[in-house]
Structure 1
Amino acid sequence: MENSDHPLLNWIPNKLVETDGNIYFEWIYLGDKRYVDPFFDETLMKCKVHYNNSTRYKVVSSVENLIDWSTELVSVELKSLLFHVSRCGSTMMCQSLAVSPQNIVVSEAPIIDQIIRSDLFDLDKKRILIKSVIALLGQKRFVEEKNLIVKLDSWHTFQIDELRAIFPELPFALLYRNPSEVLKSHAKLKGMHMVPNLLPATVFGISDEEIQTISFQQYGAVVLEKYFQSYLDFYGTDKNVVMYNYEEGMKSILERFLSFIDADYFVEEVDQMCERLTRHSKKGDVTFKGDSFTDDVLVIDLTKGNSLYEKLNSSIAKSLVTNIT
């Protein structure tokens, strides 16, 4: 059955629901909406006004329904999972990739995070659900679509080994940035992962005892240290991963990523993707003139973060030398 004939075309699971001991997935109708917003939840909000989503009734399914249905719809090829430490160019990169009609770019879909952090499923069922949900999000809805790129939430780096077990042959990309610049950005507007207790500290590998010794100001630096260490551990052992430092420049990163995922684009598409990099990642009508926090001063101890950052840079340098020789 072609997708055009399937009753679930343009429907995707968007919420995990537990009620009265039962587990359900709530679905939402996309209509003709493409995933072009900076974050996936923005697309979901726009879809809620559609008639199919604005009635008093919700479309729900069982876990097994979702798994079965994911095999009935044709999905485009999953090309890469994109990991990031936040404020390191990942949103800009995704907005650039979304310019091409060949690409489906899923940027931090809440349903993926719900499943990853859920304790409602055993490991085998969780693996199946992650694959099934990603397949449904990447259903082929438009004739041009060929490539699916999924950007995860930053804290999913701590599940990277498990995600590798689910997708053993898939290219993984890791984005990072100078810790001072990341934290200066968060000082202006903190992401939820940089505020103690908005997410459980254990998500980042911070113990209950350790968190008692970390000040509010220092917490973000510790989280970033955990991200960097996770990157080092994975990059040192995995054979199908690339790591990009924001300092390299987003145009270079984009071009290298397009080569890494082995996808073919028209020259005009690449030019359009590069042009998108000149505009603000979250405000596409605003020219990007660089970050405005470079002269800000942080009252944070970055000793360990800077050390790990230099180790990441060294790891990339060693990898480049090895590939050349």
Structure 2
Amino acid sequence: MEDLNLQGWLPIRVWQEAGLWRVDWCWFGDARLAQPFFGDAVEDALRLPFNQAFRRQTPLDVLGQWQRQSPGLAPSAFIFHASRCGSTLISQMLAQLDDHIVISEPPPLDTLLRSDLPPAERCVALKGLMSAYGQRRRGVERRLVVKLDAWNIGELALLRECFPDTPWLFLYRDPLEIAVSHLRRPGMHMVPGMIGTSVLDDGLPFSSPEDFISRRVGRLLATGLEHCQAFAGMAVNYTELPEAMTGRLAAFFRLDEGQGRQVFAAVGQHAKQPAQTFVGDSEDKRLEASALLRERILRWAQGPYEALATLHCGEGT
């Protein structure tokens, strides 16, 4: 039996070794997770002398044991997205609130969702992982919001098997703007072979980066549309941000009036680079798009984008 004195520790990696699943833990103490991505918080924590001197690894089933011994907050909302469309802005706005734990794209969650674990075992591990992230390390936390990697929209049904009552939203954006962003600086899911098998794969050969990225953006939007229709997800357009955080998103995240004002403290910052001022770039991206990219986006991604916009209009505001 593992020593389960894990207060202040968070899972930072899950992996399989010699047929056995293991968890790597890092000590955070009561430090808030205010960085744009969970990986950023991990890098900061690993610089602490304590974490350089001590490492802690456990079997995977310790996640379930720790949940039973010290249940954390259940997730109050999941954020899915088509990438480069405002999800980090939303998570950084919510991170302004002392009573919110915001976990942004934690690698262990992606690993478990796309693992070959038996369904029942995977669900126990996922619940244990969320409970670990939902620990009240400062004593004031009331809500846990989790932002997933863009490609995890393909695993939404698996996540809902474990958390059927957790509301979720899907952020999307004009696909031409998403594609230009990835041509400038490709996300790992827009590099062939980088993330392994995912819902973004279509098995077709590609003739150019414009072709490859456009098809994957189209797959993201199409899968988001399919799941919004099947599982009652809220579709949110990038053009609504940040103002929607005083409207329907405030209701979605159950923010009171004071919290609604507080979250806007982050709006003047660049979401992914908080030291920089945010400047909208939609028009620049559209002007930058080549004729080839426009043709490929029209072919592969424009249809699901327009269907999402229609679905969104049907939801009301």
Identity %: 26
In structure 1, how many angstroms separate the alpha carbons of the residues matched to 2:49 and 2:213?
A: 42
Under a length normalisation based on structure 2, what TM-score does the superposition of the two structures give?
0.91
Secondary structure, aligned partner of 2:180: helix
1:288 to 278, 292, 297: 278
1:315 matches 2:306: no
CA 205–275 in structure 1, closer or farther in 2 if over 3 Å, else same? closer
- Give yes or no for the alignment of 1:223 onto 2:216: yes
SS of the residue 1:118 aligns to: coil
- Counterpart of 2:301 in 1: which secondary structure? helix
Task: Give the 5 Å matches for 1:300-311.
Answer: 300=293, 301-303=296-298, 304-311=300-307
The one-letter code matched in structure 2 to 1:256 is R
Q: CA deviation at 1:213?
A: 4.1
Runs of at least 4 residues off by over 3 Å: none
Task: Output the amino acid matched with 2:109.
Answer: I
- The residue correspondences of 1:167-178 to structure 2 (distance < 5 A) are 167-178=163-174
Matched, 1:85 2:82: yes
Does residue 243 of the first structure (1) align with residue 238 of the second (2)?
Answer: no
Check whether the contact 1:31–1:47 (CA below 8 A) recurs between aligned residues: no
Q: 1:70 Cα shift?
A: 1.8
Letter in 2 for 1:244: V
Aligned-residue offset at 1:10: 0.8
Q: After the TM superposition, which of the residue ranges 226-235 and 97-106 deviates more from structure 2? A: 226-235
Q: Secondary structure at the match of 1:24?
A: strand
Do 1:251 and 1:277's aligned partners in 2 also have CA atoms closer than 8 Å? no
Instruction: Give the secondary structure class of the aligned counterpart of 1:280.
Output: coil
Partner of 1:182: 178
* Equivalent residue in structure 1 for 2:201, among 206, 211, 221: 206
Amino acid at match of 2:273: K
SS at match of 1:149: strand
Q: Does 1:146 align with 2:124?
A: no
Say which SS state the counterpart of residue 9 (structure 1) adopts: coil
User: 1:108 pairs with 81, 98, 105, which one?
Assistant: 105
Q: Is contact 1:16-1:115 (8 Å) kept?
A: yes
Distance 1:266 1:8 in 2: 35
* TM-score under structure 1 length normalisation: 0.89
SS of the aligned residue for 1:302 comes to helix
Q: Which of residues 261, 265, 282 in structure 2 aligns to 1:271?
A: 261
Equivalences, count? 308
Kept after mapping to 2: 8 A contact 1:10/1:31 = yes
Matched AA of 1:216: P
Q: Is the partner of 1:25 in helix, strand or coil?
A: strand
Match of 1:260 among 230, 239, 252: 252
Matching residue of 2:17: 19
2: CA distance, partners of 1:158 / 1:214 = 25
**Contact 2:246-2:260 at 8 Å conserved across structures:** no
Q: Is the 8 A contact 1:33 1:43 kept in 2?
A: no
